[in-house]
Structures are given as C-alpha cells and as structure tokens.
C-alpha cells in the first residue's frame, strides 16, 4: 500500500499525539522513523503517513490545530 506524508513531528510523543488525533477522526496513520528520531534526538523527525485517499482530510484536520 502506498502512503503519503502529511506531517513531520520532531519528537516521538508529539507524533503519537498527531497519530491519535487523526485516529479519533477515523483516519489511520502510521509513524515512520520513530526509532531513528529517538536515536538522533529528534533531528530527523517522525513522518506521519496516511493512505492517499485520506490525505486531504488529514491535512485539513492538521491545519485546524497547526495552520501552515
């Protein structure tokens, strides 16, 4: 399955919060690079990934809490 990045968060806890926020709206999100981010002290960031069909809805939800 293809996934698209909708956010990049520079701490694992923040990434889990974003994932949970999306899940509460019915959007399944997967976190990429969480282990790498913890090893590098958050420098690389944790990528929040969703299915392409959910991208627009996920971006709209995230814009409500953190406008671009």
Q: What is the mean pLDDT of residues 20-45?
A: 79
Quote the pLDDT of residue 56: 98
Q: What are phi and psi of 13, to 5 degrees?
A: -65, -45
Looking at the chain, the whole-number percentage of residues with pLDDT higher than 90 is 62
Number of domains present in the structure of the chain: 1
Q: What is the mean pLDDT of residues 12-41?
A: 84
What is the value of pTM for the model shown? Answer: 0.82
Quote the pLDDT of residue 49: 97
Band the pLDDT of 47: cuts 50, 70, 90.
very high
Residue 16 structural domain: 4-65
Q: If you write DSSP's letter for every residue of 4-55 in order, what string do you get?
A: EEEEEESSHHHHHHHHHHHHHTT--EEEESHHHHHHTTTSS-EEEEE-GGGH
Domain with 12 in it: what CATH number?
3.30.70.1530
In angstroms, how far is CA 21 from the centroid of its own chain? 9
- Tokens linked to 55: 């991208």
């Amino acid at each position: 399955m293809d996934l698209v990045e909708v956010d990049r968060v520079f701490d694992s806890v923040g990434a889990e919060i974003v994932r949970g926020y999306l899940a509460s709206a019915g959007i399944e999100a997967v976190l990429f690079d969480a282990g790498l981010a913890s090893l590098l002290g958050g420098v690389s960031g944790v990528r929040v990934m969703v299915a392409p069909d959910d991208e627009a809805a996920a971006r709209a939800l995230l814009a409500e809490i953190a406008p671009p």
